[in-house]
Structure 1
């Protein structure tokens, strides 16, 4: 895969991740304009994740039949239009609907982008290339909260969504130049339902997809609302919460960069070990905190464990079947974003009635259950594990 192609798909994942976390540090400013409590703004990423999860089930199989480029372009342009419309929404419900439609577009973008990584790479390079592209998703957790928080304090929260729309247009232009139309994938002669059946019949796929929701979805979902959690624990400004979320994003990237080395040292145990660290790290947010520094240190196990285990989990899923890679990716993306929706919905539902510590305990408990599903994989041979590096 060429550098231009890697950078293009990197930017696509950056956009998808940015849409998940952009509202986090701006919830206070957005709530004032919409006339609602700040926790209600969490329904924006919740709607995004829910529609994403539903539509991804269709987008992946279609990419296995008809190719990747044209759906990817359509998804990026639709994402740009909807992001530009959110700032002009007359009320919160309209913004939620627009966010949900943006999730539909994102559901078309991500499976096609990730399938292109495998399509354009040598088999032994797929895991490493996926890691490079996934840094784009994780970088969104660093830059987007910081920039969004700063924009909310200076030019207003609407400017952040306009910037997201411009970046989506630029990404679409990059896709049009970096990739050819390509031939339909290997599953082009398989009907739609058969594609689903064969993908789900792939050995090991159902257990790992369960972890995509229960572990990765809830761990990633917490990243979408961590700025609001931090502001409720310490009463921080949008700029400070954005900086804190950006710090966690750096820790996620550090975990991603360390994942290959960790797997070389401990083999197949790297994935379940890092997943357990991330889940237990979420439970740490239940502890009382007196300063921003303490909170930053407390969140490191969650962020580093998430960053390390996330790409390993996806790479193993992607390696299960070349023929139905797009469909398996679509299930993974769907369940991942269903987890993000679940966390955002829980924030909007639980926090007004209970303390933020109860919310953190709930998210940590679900993620711990999901991480336990990964523990038996530590007995897999190093041959299977080597496919992800």
Structure 2
């Protein structure tokens, strides 16, 4: 395993841990800051909202800058703002620090995906991409539960730990990464909107990102209040919730490891269709379960299936246009966090106003079905790629 592979894995592990850690901590933080259940979701939403909005800017800008510099600055800001979360003394200061952490993550994560094809050999690109993606899955399997267990001593400890660990990664990235400067064409002054034109004008790209939005809306809505649901229904502590969440992460990690196998055996379309139909059924069923053991088993299946599905869809989206890979990577990140932001708000509304977690499960099932329909009807898995302005001009 190369030094770059290890570095990118650890960066995604830290960002993933910070992204998902709020969910199992939500009951504790809600009591700590004295806020309602509906408002508590914004401690998650503040991070995902800022990450979604600023990723739209970060991607096009980074396509014309030195990616090493962008990654280092983003990771440094991420480490500082995450550590500051541990010092938050009110709901609003927590939301502010989470907002700043989301901005930093928006400039950091897309550089990982965009840098891999530059710093590793062509034969190792797919493998490195897969390992970096597994960093997110591993953050659910290990980072989030460890954060939950650390929080049993003090809720601030997980934030301080991630902040310090991320600061160490800044040092390693500074020492290991070479300059990754844009090509002469990409370095030219181009408006942010113009870099999105090839995607905006492509029906295939539009369908792909709408489907990706719906997919993450299903997952984000279900996950945002899973900790709250388990605390209310099964009277679990923060540490016990972390133990349950570990099944989600291990399922996602295992699924990402076997995703390529299913893709080869069944093909992308059949794998996605089968997996997402299974998810529709499971999201509708999970709120009806009456034991922690059954919840663990079903969520293990759900996140294993998601681990299989996500790499395939991400691979299709990032292959739309190689010349604007940073823009596409940032747009996928923005779409994910935008969906998670909306999902946190929807989850709070549904949980309080419409029958608790059962309504959340049905909402997620419907979003998953709509996502699958959009993927199939939009021809997202066709072979035709999205051409850039330069390619279009050459063809004409």
Q: Which residue of 1 aligns with 2:157?
A: 159
**Distance change in 2, residues 1:16/1:220 (3 Å):** farther
C-alpha separation in 1, matches of 2:199 and 2:70: 21
Q: Which residue of 1 aligns with 2:391?
A: none
Does the Cα contact within 8 Å between 1:23 and 1:41 map onto a contact in 2? Answer: no
Q: Which residue of 2 aligns with 1:180?
A: 178
Q: Which residue of 2 aligns with 1:387?
A: none
Does the Cα contact within 8 Å between 2:224 and 2:347 map onto a contact in 1? Answer: no
Q: Which residue of 1 aligns with 2:75?
A: 76
C-alpha separation in 2, matches of 1:358 and 1:130: 36
**Corresponding pairs, count:** 381
Q: Which residue of 1 aligns with 2:251?
A: 251
C-alpha separation in 2, matches of 1:374 and 1:123: 28
Unaligned residue ranges in structure 1 (runs of 5+):
385-389
C-alpha separation in 2, matches of 1:342 and 1:227: 18
Deviation at 1:133, TM superposition (A): 0.4
**Distance change in 2, residues 1:63/1:170 (3 Å):** same
C-alpha separation in 2, matches of 1:379 and 1:324: 18
Deviations 1:303-341 (A, max 9, x none): 111111111111111112110111111111111111111
Does the Cα contact within 8 Å between 2:222 and 2:347 map onto a contact in 1? Answer: no
Unaligned residue ranges in structure 2 (runs of 5+):
386-396
C-alpha separation in 2, matches of 1:338 and 1:224: 13
2:334 is the alignment partner of 1:334? yes
Q: Which residue of 2 aligns with 1:20?
A: 19
Q: TM-score, normalised by structure 2?
A: 0.89
Deviation at 1:200, TM superposition (A): 3.2
Q: Which residue of 1 aligns with 2:305?
A: 305
Deviations 1:253-310 (A, max 9, x none): 11111100001101122233323333432222232x2221111122233211111111
C-alpha separation in 2, matches of 1:209 and 1:156: 39
Computed over aligned residues only, the root mean square deviation of the Cα atoms, in angstroms, reads 2.3
Secondary structure in 1 aligned to 2:35?
A: coil
2:103 is the alignment partner of 1:95? no
C-alpha separation in 2, matches of 1:211 and 1:115: 22
C-alpha separation in 2, matches of 1:352 and 1:64: 43
C-alpha separation in 1, matches of 2:357 and 2:235: 12
Does the Cα contact within 8 Å between 2:38 and 2:345 map onto a contact in 1? Answer: no
C-alpha separation in 2, matches of 1:257 and 1:383: 27
Secondary structure in 1 aligned to 2:320?
A: coil
C-alpha separation in 1, matches of 2:373 and 2:236: 34
Does the Cα contact within 8 Å between 2:375 and 2:381 map onto a contact in 1? Answer: no
Deviations 1:5-62 (A, max 9, x none): 1111111111221122112222222222212245643211111111111000111111
Deviates more, 1:22-31 or 1:135-144: 22-31
Q: TM-score, normalised by structure 1?
A: 0.91
Deviates more, 1:66-75 or 1:297-306: 297-306
Deviation at 1:172, TM superposition (A): 1.2
C-alpha separation in 2, matches of 1:179 and 1:272: 39
Q: Which residue of 1 aligns with 2:388?
A: none
Q: How does 1:293-372 map to 2 (within 5 A)?
A: 293-354=293-354, 355-372=356-373
Q: Which residue of 1 aligns with 2:104?
A: 105
**Distance change in 2, residues 1:116/1:221 (3 Å):** farther
Deviation at 1:123, TM superposition (A): 4.5
